[in-house]
Structure 1
Amino acid sequence: MSRAFCIPGLLFLLCALVLNILVSVSLPFLPALDIVRTHFGTGVRQANTEGLTQVRFGIWAPCYYNGESDRTCLKSNLAYNLEISNAARTETANVSASWTRGLAAHPLAAAITLLAFAFAFSTHLVLTLVGSLLSFLAALVTLVAFAIDIALFARVRHEMSGLGVDANTNTAPAFWMTLVAFVLLLLAGCTVCLGRRKSRMADATPTTPVTPTTSKPGFFSKFRRNEKAA
């Protein structure tokens, strides 16, 4: 692949890979990288825990925070349920496993991005084409994961607003990191594809053989030929 396209394509893929891996780790292992978070102006309760001021939704588990910023996370699970009620237990917010099961698309996108990054190192045209196709496939899976994040955000916001407390639901860093990874993967796929096309055109261009040039006879050459004839 042409070097002018190789280096930018690899950089795009590397950045997208790092972002997808970080998002895939998420809560409870990386507390700052959650998908959706809700802040409560007044205390709510989850099970026997009262005075919660914040809840964060990660890929593997949700985590709760109290007024002292103490964090409590549920057991890690691919598809988890969340149930929160207000202090008076008159209203309950429920986010079922059907809304969190699809978050597994994030690790899948990271795995495909890793394969695309590995194939992009190859100088073989066929393997480079595979790397470009994998980049677009990773972008598609990342887009699906982002759509799942949007659905989760809408569900959490709807449920938390029904608690009758001052709840403020917002998107979190991992939400926007997924969007950036999607854009980078699109750029990487286009860059790798253009690099392959340029290399193919360079290989198909015929080389023009250089023919030796004959010098034009000078004016005195006529006299030399006449002397030889005599």
Structure 2
Amino acid sequence: MSRTYCIPGVFFLFSAWFLLFIVSISLPSFQAMDITRVHSSGQVSSNNNEAFTQLRLGIWGYCVDLSAGRTCFNTGHGYSLTVTNSQNVEVTIGPSWTRGLATLPVACCVAFIALLLSFSQHITITLVASLVSFLAALITLVAFAINIALFAYVKQELGTLNISETTITGPGFWLTFVALILLLLAGCTVCFGRRRDRMAGATNNAYQLNGPKGGFLSRFRRN
């Protein structure tokens, strides 16, 4: 593939894979990489613990900011979380809303495969790299939709508790969106590079077939 398209394609794929990789680490190992974040005035508690001022939801667990500091729970994907206000009214974020977050590591693995394929100069393999890039983009799109659903559900449920809280999207939410854009750009770049190489090859073949021909006597000349 032409270097004009090869280098940007590899760069886009590497950037997308790296973003998905750090998002996939998530909580509790990477406490700053949450999907949804809740700020409260300390009027609510989670899973019958003391009141928290901040709640972070990640792929593999969640973290709460308590009076003694931040505490993280490594629950694994598909965890459940119950939030209770001072009137003992509670809402539950069930595993059906957090289990789908594990789609992000799957997208990361597919993006890595596309990255490895993009280093090849073979036309067929570059086509496969482009298709795998679009597949990774599709999986990332599904993961991003799951992120949106989780954020909207948490915001809606906590709104029923009549407390002073602010639900916002975390860094992992937006890095997933950026990775989606990069994967689409990578797929298009690799695809355009393959098309350019194919057209260049067709032009060279046409030139060889329609090249300058000699006269009748040129057949008897020595090469």
TM-score, with structure 1 as normaliser: 0.87
Tell me the CA shift for residue 43 of structure 1. Answer: 2.8
Letter in 1 for 2:179: A
Secondary structure (helix, strand or coil) at the match of 1:41 reads strand
Equivalent position amino acid for 2:84 in 1: S
Please state whether the residue corresponding to 1:49 is helix, strand or coil: coil
What does 1:1-230 correspond to in 2, within 5 Å?
A: 1-67=1-67, 70-89=69-88, 91-205=89-203, 206=205, 207-208=207-208, 209=211
Does structure 1 conserve the Cα–Cα contact (< 8 Å) formed by 2:134 and 2:183?
yes
Q: Which runs of 5+ in 2 are unaligned?
A: 215-223
Moved more, 183-192 or 34-43: 34-43
1-side partners of 2:163 and 2:196: how far apart?
A: 60
Question: Would the aligned equivalents of 1:42 and 1:165 in 2 still touch at CA under 8 Å?
Answer: no
Query: What is the CA distance between 1:48 and its match in structure 2?
Result: 4.2
Deviations along 1:85-104, one digit per CA (max 9) or x if unpaired, are 01331x11210000011111
Question: Which structure would you say has the larger Rg?
Answer: 1
Instruction: Report which stretch shifted further, 157-166 or 178-187.
Output: 157-166
- CA positional deviation for 1:196: 0.5
Stretches of 4+ aligned residues off by more than 6 angstroms? none
Greater Cα shift, 108-117 or 162-171: 162-171
Query: Which whole-Å deviations, capped at 9, do the CAs of 1:154-205 have from their partners, x for residues lacking one?
Result: 1100111122210110001100000000000000000000000111111122
Q: Is the 8 A contact 2:19 2:176 kept in 1?
A: yes
Contact 1:43 1:50 (8 Å CA) reproduced: no
- Contact between 2:64 and 2:70, CA under 8 Å: does it hold in 1? yes
- State TM-score, norm by structure 2: 0.90
CA distance in structure 2 between the partners assigned to 1:104 and 1:47 by the alignment: 22
| Deviation string, structure 1 residues 28-63 (Cα, Å, up to 9, x no partner) | 111111000100023322244213101100001011
